[in-house]
Amino acid sequence: MWIDAHQHFWNYNPKRDTWITDEMKVLQRNFLPSDLNPLLDCSHISGCVAVQADQSETETQFLVSLAEANDFIKGVVGWVDLQSNNLTERLAYFSQYKKLKGFRHIVQSEPNDFLLRALFINGVRELKKFDFTYDILIYERQLPATLEFVKNFPDQRLVIDHLAKPNIKSHSFDNWKKHIQLIAEQENIFCKISGMITEADWHNWKYEDFIPYLDVVFNSFGIDRIMYGSDWPVCLVAASYEKQFSILQQYIQNFSQAERNKILGGNAIRFYQL
Question: 3-state DSSP call for residue 119?
Answer: helix
CATH number at residue 21: 3.20.20.140
Percentage of the chain modeled with pLDDT above 70:
100
pLDDT bin (cut points 50, 70, 90) of residue 19 is: very high
Average pLDDT taken over every residue of the chain: 97
For residue 138, the 8-state DSSP code is: -
CB 119: neighbour CB atoms within 10 A? 11
Domain count along the chain: 1
Question: The domain containing residue 83 runs over which residues?
Answer: 3-272
Exposed, middle or buried, 97 (CB in 10 Å: 0-12/13-18/19+)? Answer: middle
Measured on CA atoms in the order 99, 274, 104, 116, is the torsion positive or negative? positive
Q: How far apart are CA 105 and CA 60, in angstroms?
A: 12
On the CB side of 201, CA atoms within 13 Å amount to 10
Q: Are 6 and 245 in contact (CB under 8 A)?
A: no
pLDDT of 244 > 90? The answer is yes
230-240 average pLDDT score: 98
pLDDT of residue 134: 98
Assess contact for 99 and 73: CB atoms under 8 A: yes
Q: Which of 208, 124, 134 is CA-nearest to residue 168? A: 208
Q: In 123-214, at which residue ranges do the beta strands (DSSP E only) sit?
A: 133-136, 158-160, 189-193
- Partnered with residue 26 across adjacent β-strands are none
pLDDT digits (tens, 9 = 90+) for 152-209: 999 999 999 999 999 999 998 999 999 999 999 999 999 999 999 999 999 999 999 9
248-273 average pLDDT score: 98
- pTM of this prediction exceeds 0.75: yes
Instruction: State percent of the chain over pLDDT 90.
Output: 99
- Please check the confidence at residue 21 and state whether its pLDDT lies above 90: yes
Interatomic CA distance for residues 17 and 14, integer angstroms? 5
The 10s digit of each residue's pLDDT in 102-146 is 999 999 999 999 999 999 999 999 999 999 999 999 999 999 999
Containing 250, the helix (H) or strand (E) segment is helix 241-251
pLDDT score, position 172? 87
Of 188, 210, 232, 196, the closest CA to residue 6 belongs to 232
At 44, phi and psi to the nearest 5?
60, 35
pLDDT attached to residue 246: 98
H or E stretch including 101?
Answer: strand 100-105
The secondary structure of residue 84, as a DSSP letter, is -
Give the per-residue pLDDT at 133.
98
Residue 213 confidence (pLDDT)? 98
